[in-house]
Amino acid sequence: MPFYQYKAKDSSKCCDYCCNGFELLQKPDSEVIKNCPRCGAPVEKLITGFSVGLSKSGLDRKATDKGFHKLKKLNKGEYEKEY
pLDDT at res. 10: 92
pTM: 0.58
Average pLDDT over residues 1-9: 90
Question: Widest CA span of the chain, in angstroms?
Answer: 62
Is the pLDDT at 57 greater than 80, yes or no?
no
Contacts (Cβ under 8 Å, ≥6 apart) of 31: none
Confidence of residue 72 (pLDDT cuts 50, 70, 90): confident
Q: Tell me the average pLDDT of the chain.
A: 86
pLDDT at res. 8: 96
79/53 Cα distance (integer angstroms):
29
Average pLDDT over residues 45-74: 77
Percentage, residues of the chain above pLDDT 70: 90
Instruction: Taking the CA atoms of 55, 56, 57 and 61 in sequence, report the sign of the dihedral they define.
Output: positive
